[in-house]
Amino acid sequence: MSASDRYNGWTNYETWAVALWLDNDQGSQEYWREIAEEAWRTAKPGEYTWQTQQFEAVSALAEYLEDAHIEHAGERLQGVNDVFSDLLSAALSSVDWREIAKHYIDDVADEIDVEEVKERAEEEAVIAATGTEEQRGQ
């Protein structure tokens, strides 16, 4: 896919539109970030080297995103079979769910990594301070 085939930095218009709606509403954004964080924290590397924690987290979140949107579309249409339901189905099938999931996973993974580095630094500072105090008392 060439850069000219992309839409506002996303794979296509459909992917951009879903990502935009997810991020435009604060409640929606917070909900999906929480789901992404859970996916990151629970993801375990797979059997093969390419099945990294990130790959597994993105896969789980992408599946969840797609299932939730398809289910919600089905609830809204409730048995309607017409040109509009066909167009909605076609649009949803064009969404790159993995790309949206990767966007969320990358964000939360970076935040979690920074938090873990800060926690480790604080723990090391406490250990260093405690060790220094113990050495002084001896």
Report how far residue 60's alpha carbon sits from residue 63's, in angstroms, rounded to the nearest whole number: 5
Q: For residue 135, what are the CA distances in angstroms to 121, 127, 130, 132?
A: 21, 12, 9, 5
CB 19 within 8 A of CB 10: yes
For position 2, what pLDDT does the model report?
60
State mean pLDDT over 21-32: 94
Could you tell me which residues come within 8 angstroms of residue 129 by beta carbon, excluding any fewer than 6 positions away? Answer: none
For position 101, what pLDDT does the model report?
97
For position 19, what pLDDT does the model report?
97
Domain residues of the chain, as ranges? 9-137
- For the stretch 91-114, pLDDT in tens is 999 999 999 999 999 999 888 776
- Neighbouring-strand partners of residue 10: 7
Cα 61 to the center of its chain, rounded Å:
6
The pTM of this model reads 0.78
